[in-house]
Amino acid sequence: MTMTEAGTAEAFHAVYGAAPTGVWAAPGRVNLIGEHTDYNDGFVMPLALPHTTAAAASARPDGVLRLHSGGADGGIVELRIDALRPAPGPADRILEASRGGAQRSGGWAAYPAGIVWAMREAGLPVGGADLHYESTVPTGAGLSSSAALEIATALALNDLYGLGLPAQRLAQLAQRAENAFVGVPCGIMDQTAAACCTEGHALFLDTRDLTQRQVPFDLAGEGLRLLVVDTCVKHELGDGAYAERRAGCERGARALGVRALRDISYAHLPEALDKLADDPDVRGLVRHIVTENHRVEEVIARLDAGDTRAIGPLLTAGHASLRDDFKISCAELDLAVDTAVAAGAVGARMTGGGFGGSAVVLVEETDAEKVTTAVTDAFAAAGFVPPRVFTAVPGAGARRLG
């Protein structure tokens, strides 16, 4: 599942006619619990997938950035780094900022170009580069292929230009790139997961002060398995709904007189909900964020106590909260979760932004096949696209492959 160093370096050679200086990789992720909390200064708990995006790269002395991806249509995208400008519109428009080189369609290049832009904006001495990407992270499946692409790029440039930046700083630069250059108002979770996760652990991140803790998450040792069910659908509603939920959370925080919803403690939730009696939509958003932060803390307590099975009901409760209070689930995600739980899963929830993408399902190893079959059959019976089911083994964060 991890892209190999040799394969990526060979592909680089075929594209650019020379060997790369090195190959770097960053993983996709699933979020175990803590959904939509990362723009509310809250808690998240992602783990890295074995799926990775590898970047083979060499520095260039002439201020030219050349980008090529085995996973994208079109040829080499060529940009001048001093002509990179953030654009407020969709990613495709960003390439208008380039001059001279081949301007192909494919807004994907905005992600890596945004990294160079963000590093330069921060005053870092980064120059041109040739980059070629190979990836096993499914795109648009809620598994964060965008952050894998960004962080593989950031790590490559960090090493090629001797910047010496720590992983969390690379994550912040990548978030800046995605927010300001690509134009996606994401939080800091995905980039931090890609940069900072470690094998065998889930990463607890406090998105306010960026403190982290690697929480041991050894499923195999306990006879458990975490399945990822990729529904292979992405409903159009997604982008607008994300912005709307974000704005609703900000409205809630303002109405309650706090900097962010993270500042409402679980103990004070009833009072907060009383104050929001005339705004049922915001009320639901607030209830989700406050209970979700609480669930993250409970999950950590249970993992620390060595009781991994006990996190199951918290995952399932998290799904109900996303479905009923935050209102970002969809028929496919609900069917995946309900069927998995009915077939004996320990717990299950949608993961990621919502309206499609993936669900995580915690199962006894001995039930994995039964649950997978039940979900697949239920999708067929409902006339849905067949889901892709795979096992998530907590993998390593970004690293140099060679």
Q: Which residues are catalytic?
A: 190
* Nearest residue (CB) to Mg ion, 200 versus 353: 353
Q: How far is the CB of 146 from Mg ion (least distance, A)?
A: 3
- Please select the residue that binds Mg ion; options are 37, 146, 153, 231, rule is CB under 5 A: 146
Q: How far is the CB of 138 from ligand ADP (least distance, A)?
A: 7
* Nearest residue (CB) to ligand ADP, 50 versus 200: 50
Binding segment (CB under 5 A) for Mg ion, from list 60-68, 136-144, 168-176, 218-226: 136-144
C-alpha angle with apex 151: 145 to 156, nearest 5 degrees? Answer: 130
What does the block give as tokens for 368? 């994995």
* Nearest residue (CB) to ligand ADP, 146 versus 308: 146
Q: 103-110 contacts: CB < 8 A, separation 24 or more?
A: 103/77, 104/73, 104/74, 104/75, 104/76, 104/77, 105/73, 105/74, 106/72, 106/73, 106/74, 106/77, 107/182, 108/69, 108/72, 108/149, 109/67, 109/77, 109/79, 110/181, 110/182
The site string for Mg ion over 13-42 (x = CB under 5 A, - otherwise) reads ------------------------------
Q: Which residues contact 325 (CB under 8 A, 6 or more apart)?
A: 284, 285, 287, 288, 291
Token pair 């980008």 is found at 67
Q: How far is the CB of 394 from ligand ADP (least distance, A)?
A: 18
* Nearest residue (CB) to ligand ADP, 30 versus 337: 30
* Positions in 266-285 near Mg ion (CB under 5 A): none
Distance separating alpha carbons of residues 289 and 295, to the nearest angstrom: 10
Tell me: does residue 175 bind Mg ion (CB under 5 A).
Answer: no
Q: Which residues contact ligand ADP (rule: CB under 6 A)?
A: 53, 69, 71-72, 107-108, 111, 133, 135, 139-146, 149
Report which of 394, 391, 357 is spatially closest to residue 371, judged by C-alpha positions. Answer: 391
Among Mg ion, ligand ADP, none, what binds residue 149 when CB lies within 5 to 8 Å by partner kind?
A: ligand ADP
Q: List residues binding Mg ion (CB under 5 A).
A: 144, 146
